[in-house]
Amino acid sequence: MDNIKLSKEYLKRAFEFQVEGKLFDAEINFKLSLQYNPTSEAHTFLGWLYSISGKYEEAIEECIFAIQLDHEFGNPYNDIGSYLVQLGKEEESIKWFSKAIKAPRYEPRHLPYFNLGKVYRKKGDWRRSAQMFKSALIMKPDYSPARKEYYKIISLSN
């Protein structure tokens, strides 16, 4: 089996272990996948795994590796923004969420808008917050967390 196929197989196993809650096994398989063929997806999801344990700095490093491999993949930008929020660095997170919005290859597209809405709400910028929640709803009309936050902001600003 060639390296790319091996990498994909380990990545598939890592996702399966992750879903089963076997995070140690998932981590090993993400790392094996990266050993055979580094991909932005494997780095991003390994970073997400680190974040679950509160290892936000390591998670950010993995996302930086992911971006270096594929700057068009939006997930690591959004994830870095989320990790920075967890570290209390909301102001710094804004540029990362904005980069996620502009990334050509990104699903779920509504999340960076939603995350920016929360950051602007925390900063007391009701107008921008409402705009971001509304944008998230335009991207995904059935996303109830954005709908709830949007109406909460609208009621607070009246």
140 in Cβ contact with 107 (< 8 Å):
no
User: 71 lies in a domain?
Assistant: no
* Residue 117 lies inside a defined structural domain of this protein: yes
- Summarize pLDDT for 73-114 with one digit per residue, the tens: 999 999 999 999 999 999 999 999 999 999 999 989 999 999
pTM of the entire predicted model: 0.94
Preceding omega of 108 cis (within 30 degrees of 0):
yes
Which residue range is the domain that position 144 belongs to?
108-158
DSSP 3-state of 139? helix
Domain count of the chain? 1
Give the DSSP H/E element, type plus range, for residue 153. Answer: helix 144-157
Instruction: Identify the residue whose tokens are 């970073």.
Output: 47
> What gap in Å lies between CA 110 and CA 119, rounded to an integer?
15
> Structure tokens of 51?
């974040």
Do the domain assignments include residue 152? yes
Give the CA diameter of the chain: 63
The 8-class DSSP code of residue 143 comes to -
The radius of gyration computed from the CA coordinates of the chain, to the nearest angstrom, equals 17
Asked if residue 157 has pLDDT above 80, the reply is no
Residue 84 lies in a domain: no
Task: Look at residue 85 and tell me if it is in a domain.
Answer: no
